């Protein structure tokens, strides 16, 4: 039995857009797929593809789809939904009867929509044990009814089985099957000679930010792996040749005591890795010594969700523990991280209700004071969050949130805010950040040089079609957000486009190789 696990095809690259932003500082291999591969039974031969990073040839993709007895596709967010949909449609076109299993944050909250687009079954939330049971059902040709935590279509209706309990002990999960991935196509911005990998230390987040799915995905809990087990995995990764790492997890840094113990254990064991992670802002305030210790263990960069310089907005979102995040602490957080030599990526949300377009420049100026690299995001109300429910009830959603692009505003009344913020960000990208390639801060210097190398490659790979999309997204004609998004979706999922993609795989839909090839 053959199982294909894949991220979405990069069929629609978003030139100069955050939809592919992990490519800028990484990319890093998806631990999700390697973990799921480790759960497959002995009768399954697993192939893992990551087209977002590897730029896989469509003929190779078509070959693996042709040989698959099941296909698993992960989709983490609305930014990836269009490419994920194209992937599902292409697989369904090539293999009408093959089971397509979808999982991740996005399908968890859009099960009906994905089933209508061609998926066979949706995995809700955590997927390891669910996937193992689904594969057993497929292998033995059994019904899915006995598998908890899924949705599937039957008799014209959607069947949703009882929810699955979260894995109580993360240490019970096997070591990810990194041997099934081509790790050579990943390279963190720190640009060491070894492999770049990912490692999970915990799952979930105990905060309840109204715009974030993490709390809803993991039931407001954060579960941890034992530090000796994490250390054991780090040693295995080092033995594979890894020396660059992304620590995966929404709540990294919480609690500070756990992460300080982890850092000390890494130092004592002589783990030589340059690593990145997300970082809870409250953890640094609770333990100011944390940044220095993390830096000694190899931390080079963190992603911090500052989100806004407005205390009113932070309180509105319930940002931080018990909704108590304070803007007044942000300068000290950055000072401590910067003193340790850690590069700080700072997330900023724009395009929210009540925000005035004339305030955007000041918002950007304040935000730049507590991060090295600002990451500007259009507020994206995600289905499953309190914000989504609130905006939907108030009639504020400007478009279908199944899809998302950073250049398309999500909310009515803020249509001019996102373009203005992106305009200012592009000015920084073109005129301010290049000088940081000579920064005295090594991590910033390395990142900026890596980023511009990536951008030069993007310019070199730019197609006429991609340029047309870019100009469309600049929206000089003032098209409403829904119309702008619908036009792009219709274009890239059209019968003509899908037929062209299928031809590029070299295979007849549903049959086999095109003339000149052999089955």
Distances (CA, A) of 12 to 85, 452, 488, 497, 509: 11, 21, 10, 11, 21
- The answer to whether the beta carbons of residues 35 and 116 sit under 8 Å apart is no
The secondary structure of 135-155, three-state, reads HHHHHHCCCCCCCCCEEEEEC
Name the CATH topology of 187-459: pyruvate-formate lyase- activating enzyme (3.80.30)
516: left (phi over 0), alpha (psi -120 to 50) or beta: left
Q: Which residues pair with 47 in a beta bridge?
A: 4
**Which residues, in sequence order, are bridge partners of residue 348?**
307, 376
Quote the tokens at residue 476.
Answer: 């000089």
Structure tokens of 304? 């911090």
DSSP letter string, 62-121:
HHHHHH-SEEEEE--SGGGHHHHHHHHHHHHHH-TTS-EEEESHHHHH-HHHHHHTT-SE
Residue 20: the pLDDT is 58
Which residue, among 76, 81, 71, 83, has the nearest Cα to 120 in the 3D structure?
71
Map tokens 């099957």 to a residue.
177
Contact 151, 115 (CB under 8 A): yes
Pairwise CA distance, residues 269 & 185, whole Å: 28
| Per-residue model confidence (pLDDT) at position 519 | 24
CB 294 within 8 A of CB 335: no
DSSP 3-state of 290 = helix
Which top CATH class is 2-160?
alpha beta
Q: According to the model, what pLDDT value does residue 114 have? A: 98
Residue 373: in which H helix or E strand, if any?
strand 373-378
Any idea what DSSP says for residue 415?
T
Provide the residue ranges of all domains of the chain, joining segments of one domain with +.
2-160, 187-459
What is the pTM (predicted TM-score) of this model? 0.93
Which residue in 56, 65, 112 sits closest to 92, CA to CA? Answer: 65
Distances (CA, A) of 412 to 19, 384, 396, 408, 482: 22, 20, 5, 11, 10
C-alpha span between 157 and 472 (Å, rounded) = 38
- In 3D, which of 481, 485, 368, 477 has the Cα closest to residue 427? 368
Strand partners, 151: 122, 160
Q: Please list, in sequence order, all residues whose beta carbon lies within 8 angstroms of the beta carbon of residue 486, skipping any fewer than 6 positions away.
A: 399
Token pair recorded at residue 112: 């009906």
Q: Is the dihedral of CA 380, 385, 386, 390 positive or negative?
A: positive
Assigned token pair, 77? 């967010």
Residue 467 parent element (H or E): helix 464-474
Place of tokens 């250390």: 231
Q: What is the pLDDT along the chain (519 residues), one digit of tens a residue?
A: 999 999 999 888 765 454 456 677 878 999 999 999 999 999 999 999 998 888 778 999 999 999 999 999 999 988 899 999 999 999 999 999 999 999 999 999 999 999 999 999 999 999 999 999 999 999 999 999 999 999 999 999 999 999 999 999 999 999 999 999 999 999 999 989 999 999 999 999 999 999 999 888 988 899 999 999 999 999 999 999 999 999 998 899 999 999 999 999 999 999 999 999 999 989 999 999 999 999 999 999 999 999 999 999 999 999 988 888 999 999 999 999 999 999 999 999 999 888 899 999 999 999 999 999 998 888 889 999 999 999 999 999 999 999 988 888 899 988 889 889 988 988 888 888 999 999 999 999 999 999 888 888 878 888 888 888 988 888 889 899 999 999 999 999 999 999 999 999 998 665 555 433 322
Residue 429: C-alpha distances to residues 279, 385, 408, 425, 460 (Å): 24, 32, 19, 6, 18
Distance CA 123, CA 149 (A): 6
**Whole-angstrom distance, CA of residue 191 vs CA of residue 87:** 31
């Amino acid at each position: 039995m053959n199982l294909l696990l894949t991220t979405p095809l990069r069929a629609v690259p978003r030139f100069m857009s955050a939809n592919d932003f992990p490519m800028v500082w990484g990319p890093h291999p998806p631990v999700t797929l390697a973990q799921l591969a480790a759960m497959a039974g002995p009768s399954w031969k697993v192939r893992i593809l990551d087209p977002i990073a590897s730029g896989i040839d469509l003929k190779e993709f078509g070959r693996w789809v042709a040989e698959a007895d099941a296909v698993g596709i992960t989709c983490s967010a609305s930014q990836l939904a269009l490419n994920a949909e194209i992937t599902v449609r292409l697989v369904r076109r090539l293999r009408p009867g093959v089971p397509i299993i979808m999982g991740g944050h996005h399908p968890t909250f859009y099960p009906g929509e994905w089933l209508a687009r061609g998926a066979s079954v949706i995995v809700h939330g955590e997927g390891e044990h669910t996937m193992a049971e689904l594969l057993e059902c497929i292998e033995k040709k059994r019904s899915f009814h006995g598998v908890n935590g899924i949705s599937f279509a039957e008799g014209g209706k959607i069947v949703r089985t009882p929810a699955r309990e979260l894995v109580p002990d993360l240490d019970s999960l096997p070591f990810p099957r990194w041997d099934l991935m081509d790790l050579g196509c990943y390279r963190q911005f720190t640009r060491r000679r070894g492999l770049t990998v990912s490692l999970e230390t915990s799952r979930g987040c105990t905060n309840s930010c109204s715009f974030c799915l993490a709390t809803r995905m993991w039931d407001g809990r954060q579960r941890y792996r034992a530090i000796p087990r994490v250390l054991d995995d780090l040693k295995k990764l080092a033995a594979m040749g890894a020396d660059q790492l992304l620590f995966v997890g929404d709540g990294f840094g919480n609690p500070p005591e756990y992460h300080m113990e982890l850092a000390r254990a890494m130092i004592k064991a002589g783990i030589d890795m340059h690593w990145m992670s997300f970082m809870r802002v409250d953890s640094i305030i609770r333990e100011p010594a944390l940044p220095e210790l993390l830096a000694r263990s190899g931390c080079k960069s963190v992603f911090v969700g500052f989100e806004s310089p407005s205390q009113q907005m932070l309180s509105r979102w319930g940002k931080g523990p018990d909704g108590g995040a304070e803007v007044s602490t942000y300068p000290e957080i950055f000072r401590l991280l910067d003193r340790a030599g850690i590069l700080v990526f700072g997330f900023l949300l724009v395009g929210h209700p009540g925000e005035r377009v004339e305030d955007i420049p000041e918002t950007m100026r304040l935000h730049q004071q507590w991060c090295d690299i600002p990451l500007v995001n259009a507020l994206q109300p995600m289905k499953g969050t309190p914000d989504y429910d609130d905006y939907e009830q108030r009639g504020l959603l400007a478009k279908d949130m199944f899809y998302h692009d950073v250049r398309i505003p999500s909310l009515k009344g803020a249509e001019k805010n996102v373009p203005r913020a992106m305009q200012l960000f592009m000015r920084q990208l073109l005129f301010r950040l290049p000088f940081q390639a000579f920064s005295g801060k090594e991590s910033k210097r390395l990142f900026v040089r890596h980023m511009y190398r990536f951008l030069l490659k993007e310019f070199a790979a730019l197609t006429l079609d991609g340029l047309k999309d870019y100009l469309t997204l600049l929206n000089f004609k003032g098209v409403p957000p829904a119309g702008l998004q619908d036009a792009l979706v219709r274009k890239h999922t059209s019968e003509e486009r899908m037929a062209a993609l299928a031809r590029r795989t070299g295979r007849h839909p549903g049959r086999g190789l095109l003339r000149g090839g052999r089955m």
